[in-house]
Structure 1
């Protein structure tokens, strides 16, 4: 129900330990490490293949080009928000589940935050990466919106149309993440819960100590 909650591949289509999947994961890992060392401009297909101990043919068999490889780093390493919801949960209950899932991945996101920001900054100056990100986002928004419509066939029960709701949840999650990473004292758990409660149309008071006010 969030824009980054992409379903996992079916075991029938991708058996555990599949060689191609392991090769792809290794190449992404090496590309991520190289980007940390040299920046994204320093990542080349040839160097990634060399460091991974693979041929150029192996890397081009998994990624069409350099942009295709770079675009795979973010989804592979940025911890996703994957709430667990019970059947029949209300919008407010689901929003609380989303808040809990976001809080749960905050420690992992803290470790990956600097790399995530570097990747976003690089993408801003690369039309190809922006196009790939837009395509992926559109696909995941459609999947998440369909989930919301299945749960709430009467869309008037939602605070806004399903596609808009998915986009807002994603933007709210990312915004709260980076604000918390920069100023953790201003975004404690209570603020995150209150933000998603407000999105569900509920009013939840934020304690003075949690709001950053004296």
Structure 2
């Protein structure tokens, strides 16, 4: 192998910039989780990432912009993973429920820093009406994706297709968030299979409601 072939490929300018942004976001997650939004400074974040503050400001206008992008990327990742999980083609409803429970346990037990970030995100959003609207719109995107998946699965199984799947999706996503938060407080309060069981209860009740004799149109 020649010396030229053995040398690592030099990153393009765009790749370097993307890598720098990713490292800054990862450092910001650590600092915000440890110190909170108010206590974190751009100096702390830049130093943790191994860059100068100039590098930070060349990628983000200010701490607010960095925080918002971090919130968007982390929330989008978790919600998209949840939707993908329910979209998975498991052999049975029980298989989906078991997978949902495993995912909740994985998130709750291994992402304590993310729990602190979620609290900071919520406090940040609740104090800024304009940001709440953006956060709600983001949630609705994933709620609608999940609702579409649920409707399609119901149709393929010959179940009621006029159920309020947007409401069901809202409950499933927020139930996940709430149970994950509670499990981080005390794992014994949220057994490993509780989320899947709760989802089962929800769908049993939904089925009974829409399949009961004499149901009004």
| TM-score grouping bracket, smaller chain normalisation | 0.5 to 0.7
Instruction: Find the counterpart in structure 2 of residue 151 from structure 1.
Output: 153
Instruction: Find the counterpart in structure 2 of residue 32 from structure 1.
Output: 29
CA contact (8 A) 1:144 1:166 kept: yes
Tell me, in whole angstroms, the C-alpha distance in 1 between the residues paired with 2:40 and 2:25: 11
Instruction: Find the counterpart in structure 2 of residue 4 from structure 1.
Output: none
TM normalised by structure 1 equals 0.65
Where does 1:14-25 land on structure 2 (aligned, <5 Å)?
18-25=15-22
CA contact (8 A) 2:97 2:199 kept: yes
Q: Structure 1: give runs of 5+ residues left out of the alignment.
A: 1-16, 203-214
2:170 to 167, 172, 179: 167
Instruction: Find the counterpart in structure 2 of residue 6 from structure 1.
Output: none
Aligned pair in 2 of structure 1 residues 161, 142: CA closer, same or farther (>3 Å)? same
Deviates most, 64-73 or 146-155: 146-155
CA contact (8 A) 2:33 2:116 kept: no
Greater relative contact order: 1 or 2 (C-alpha under 8 angstroms, separation 6 or more)? 1
Deviation at 1:173, TM superposition (A): 0.4
Where does 1:52-91 land on structure 2 (aligned, <5 Å)?
52=49, 53-54=51-52, 56=54, 59=56, 62-63=59-60, 65-74=62-71, 76=73, 80=78, 81-82=81-82, 83=85, 86-87=88-89, 89=91
Tell me, in whole angstroms, the C-alpha distance in 1 between the residues paired with 2:95 and 2:34: 43
Deviation at 1:189, TM superposition (A): 1.7
Tell me, in whole angstroms, the C-alpha distance in 2 between the residues paired with 1:147 and 1:61: 40
Tell me, in whole angstroms, the C-alpha distance in 2 between the residues paired with 1:29 and 1:88: 33
Deviates most, 165-174 or 193-202: 193-202
Tell me, in whole angstroms, the C-alpha distance in 2 between the residues paired with 1:61 and 1:166: 39
TM normalised by structure 2 equals 0.65
Instruction: Find the counterpart in structure 1 of residue 136 from structure 2.
Output: 134
Alignment coverage as a number of residue pairs: 186
CA radius of gyration, larger in: 2
Deviation at 1:196, TM superposition (A): 1.6
Give the 3-state SS of the residue equivalent to 1:157 in structure 2.
coil
Tell me, in whole angstroms, the C-alpha distance in 1 between the residues paired with 2:59 and 2:24: 9
Q: Output one character per residue of 1:94-132: Cα deviation in whole Å (capped at 9) or x when no partner.
A: 344322322232211345323332332333223343233
Give the 3-state SS of the residue equivalent to 1:200 in structure 2.
helix
Q: Structure 2: give runs of 5+ residues left out of the alignment.
A: 1-13, 206-217
1:194 to 2:191 alignment: no
Tell me, in whole angstroms, the C-alpha distance in 1 between the residues paired with 2:192 and 2:161: 24
CA contact (8 A) 2:97 2:197 kept: no
Deviation at 1:168, TM superposition (A): 0.8
The CA RMSD measured in Å over matched residues stands at 3.6
